[in-house]
Amino acid sequence: MNWLRLHQRTAWICGLTLLLPLALYLNALLGLWGVYQAAQSGIERIEPRIARLQGLIDYEDQLREASIAVDSEVLTLAYPASEDRATVSANLQTNVREIFSKAGISVTNSQVLPVREQRNFDYIGVKLTVTGDLPALDEALAGIAAYMPLILVESLDIYPARAARSRDDSEQQLITAGLQVLSLRAAK
């Protein structure tokens, strides 16, 4: 102990010399710990992706079957890609006019709308103005709902028809409806 008091400067130099390798060792150890933690974080981030891919591999056959089933269902709900847009538009317009005529509604105006291209489908629309009574319109809309390939009613505006009526006229009130329908055509 006497030596430490007499040689304080030398004791400090020896102590710091011993602490320097210890500090370097701790620095290296903490650096390796940081690398380990980064690797663990990367593994934890990748594990869900690998599990999803493994699930896809495990259920590949079922997914293929479901895809085939969806493709066949799309063929019943949409016009095939092999049909021309203009042909599909004309057929849609003719079929919708026929549905309304069978229901007892007169079509006063119909117009094919420009084709809207979306991801996998072309939206083919027809705008119609029809006149008739409400039960006939209901019947026509039921006919549209049952038609295949699927026809969707995009908009429907109904208002009373402007017609002169006598006081003792017991007929049902006529209505005029403006509606826009669309059907899908597979783009691919």
In this predicted structure, what is the pLDDT of residue 166? 56
In this predicted structure, what is the pLDDT of residue 48? 93
In this predicted structure, what is the pLDDT of residue 38? 93
pLDDT grade for 81, boundaries at 50, 70 and 90? confident
Cα 16 to Cα 2, 19, 74, 125, 132: the distances in Å are 20, 5, 79, 86, 103
Spatial separation of the C-alpha atoms in residues 149 and 151, rounded to whole Å: 7
Average pLDDT score over residue span 91-99: 95
CA angle 47, 50, 53 (to 5 degrees): 150
In this predicted structure, what is the pLDDT of residue 186? 87
CA angle 72, 73, 77 (to 5 degrees): 120
In this predicted structure, what is the pLDDT of residue 73? 83
In the beta sheet, which residues pair with residue 122?
Answer: 117, 185
pTM, two decimals, is 0.63
More confidently predicted of 92 and 162: 92
- Say whether pLDDT at 20 is over 80: yes
Share of the chain above pLDDT 70, in %: 95
